[in-house]
Amino acid sequence: MSDILVETKELCEYFQVKKGFLSSEKQTLKAVDRVSVTISKGETLGLVGESGCGKTTFGKTILYLNRPTSGQVLYDGTDIGTLSKEDLRKLRLRMQIVYQDPYGSLNTRMSVGDILQEPMVYHRLCTKKESHEKVRELLEQVGLRTFHESRYPHEFSGGQRQRIAIARALAVDPEFIVCDEPVSALDVSVQSQVLNLLSELKEKRGLTYLFISHDLSVVRHISDRIGVMYLGQMVETAPEEELFRSRLHPYTKALFDAMPVPKSGVRLKRTTLQGDLPSPINPPSGCHFRTRCPYCTEKCSQVQPVLKDVGNGHFVACHLFDK
């Protein structure tokens, strides 16, 4: 039996957007462009890249919150695209998402107890009495107190609200969670507490995560393997230690160069990453990174590189590594 829980095959998510404010003409925005990736059971795949590179869209498309334009998402070997509405609804219980902004994702007019009970009752997973017990267990598991169930989201700090959002995701006993920038809105001092909580829950419950962040140091803290996205495409994937020891793609190197040094907080250099992220509506020909890459050659503007296996579980999409 395969240990792969989630697999995408050439997954694409394109949006039709207006050419201009008053124009009725449409153009295609390629938010996710032919991404193929696997996530094993119990693994945390970290996904990094600049804002607007398609990370969040990829996370939503994996869960079929967006229907893909083309390609496949296999969950435990089943092509999600072939499921009936009822089977998709059942599968969604096994897959949950935690968003960046816990305040925006929680209903501020409901008490914490009601917020956590709602999915259990809606999906008829247990009786009202059992769900009440489960709410208390969930609160304890995420580091809150049982008396918090009668309180409302505005009475909590940002870190506590994210704990509530995590508890709500856990309420339906999922096995796979997409964590979409779950600590980006939190103070640095609280970030590591929430990351540690996610790691503990993963161990205790045997969870599998897709962890999305623009911050490499955050992704490093929690990931077993890391994927780097640029303009809707995966440009490098490797086990966490391997990537930190030997990053290969010029874009990944630029992300590392921009990382703050932990002790001083000083950024060492930003030597390679020039200019802004090009628009995914009209990306550069060939390698999408070529307009910002110091190693660009003629071939790079003509031929799009694909992910190649360079050993040690490391894949990179760059002509510098063509054999």
Summarize as ranges the residues that interact with ligand SF4 (CB under 6 A).
Answer: 250, 287, 289-290, 293, 295-296, 300, 305, 318-320
* Distance between CA atoms of residues 194 and 236, nearest Å: 27
Q: Token match 């809150």: residue? A: 144
Q: Min. distance of Cβ 295 from ligand SF4 in angstroms?
A: 4
Helices (H), ranges, the chain:
55-62, 85-92, 102-105, 112-122, 128-141, 158-170, 188-205, 216-222, 240-245, 250-257, 298-302
CB nearer to ligand SF4: pick between 98 and 300 = 300
Q: Min. distance of Cβ 250 from ligand SF4 in angstroms?
A: 4
Q: Min. distance of Cβ 50 from ligand SF4 in angstroms?
A: 15
Q: Min. distance of Cβ 305 from ligand SF4 in angstroms?
A: 5
Q: Min. distance of Cβ 277 from ligand SF4 in angstroms?
A: 14
Give 311: exposed, middle or buried? Use CB within 10 Å, 0-12, 13-18, 19+: exposed
- Written as six digits, the tokens of 78 are 């089943």
* Distance between CA atoms of residues 105 and 109, nearest Å: 12
Q: Min. distance of Cβ 274 from ligand SF4 in angstroms?
A: 12
CB nearer to ligand SF4: pick between 5 and 235 = 235
CB nearer to ligand SF4: pick between 59 and 232 = 232
CB nearer to ligand SF4: pick between 30 and 290 = 290
Nearest to 105 by CA among 166, 191, 173, 31: 166
76 near 39, Cβ under 8 Å? Answer: no
Report helix, strand or coil for 144: coil
CB nearer to ligand SF4: pick between 15 and 321 = 321
Nearest to 320 by CA among 225, 253, 221, 267: 253
Q: What angle do CA 51, 316, 183 make, to 5 degrees?
A: 30
CB nearer to ligand SF4: pick between 176 and 289 = 289
CB nearer to ligand SF4: pick between 221 and 319 = 319
Q: Min. distance of Cβ 297 from ligand SF4 in angstroms?
A: 6
- Residue 261 per-residue DSSP state: P
* Distance between CA atoms of residues 195 and 217, nearest Å: 11
